[in-house]
Amino acid sequence: MKLIAIEEHFLTKEVRDEWQKNADKDAPTHKLHFGEIEDRLENIGNSRLQLMDETGIDVQVLSLTSPSLHNLGRESIDLAIQTNDYVVEIIKKTPDRFQGFAALPMSAPKEAAKELERSVKNLGLKGAMLCGRTGVKNLDHKDFWELFECAEALGVPLFIHPQIPQKAVRDIYYSGFDELTNLAFSTFGLGWHYEAGIQFVRLVLAKVFDHFPNLQIILGHWGEVILFYTERLASLNSAAKLDRPFIDYVRQNLYVTASGMFSHAYLQRSVGIVGTDRILFSADYPYQYRPGRDARNFLEATELSKEDREKFAFANWERLNNAIKGE
């Protein structure tokens, strides 16, 4: 059975250098990119293909790792073009093994919409990977609505990936321990997941999906906390005077993916809420790479029917791709 992993990361030297020069000096995410992780992020060649074979993944959908270009200024416009052109050249070399999401210059929202259109229509990319807010602007800010309109018109999904909370938030909620613990707590330990999940909630509350009803969002890590609080989030129905129940937005505008969290309990919870048509496979390479045929073993051990296992492994993703209007 074909296995497509949709949240698989890379990093270029140019982006890394730009982070170090111009990004928020108070955001220490770069400390997560070192040694073997950094080597694997920057290598999209034979060594990556060998590890894909080893873990049982046939296709990776490549995306620029967090925080992408979100915290850069207008210089990110040219860098987005350069990055997307680069990843497409990689895809062309091995088109049966790689696909890609676009990186967008979110500090320049109008240019971000233009780059999404170029990336889909001219380059054949499958949507875009966003990293939540840009500076202090959350994704529901009106500046980004042109991007949502563009994504809906093109029929491509937008993946909301976590990024580290702002320093003021980290200082209040995620500090008081040693440096490594603080960093882990504010990122992969917990902070990342609230950051990304809250962005989806804000899109609902801002009625983005009422204006763009066919816009599709992907959240990693089995829904970035959202699926585990759907009952409580239902209380927003009346408070925010939502046009539809909150759960309807979850079931009609959201796809969720594993992000290397190979938990059968989380899979069952996700299926129970969004159904088998809205689950996608991902391994979160290289961060969650584990040897021993890990990805394939998880797929084969699920209690899903053969049809539903195919949906999870590749068919749902391919159905999303078939809706793309720009290619």
CA distance readout (Å), 175 to 164, 168, 257, 289? 13, 10, 29, 28
Contacts (Cβ under 8 Å, ≥6 apart) of 234:
245, 246, 247
Contacts (Cβ under 8 Å, ≥6 apart) of 325:
153, 154, 155
Whether the CB-CB separation of 286 and 262 falls below 8 Å is answered with no
| Residues assigned a catalytic role | 284
CA distance 246 to 221: 20
Burial 204-222 (b: 16+ CB within 10 A, else e): bbbbbbeebeebbbbbbbb
Q: Sheet harboring 4-10: ordered strands across?
A: 4-10, 59-64, 98-100
Give the type of residue at 42: E
Whether the CB-CB separation of 192 and 164 falls below 8 Å is answered with yes
Task: Give the DSSP letter of residue 103.
Answer: P
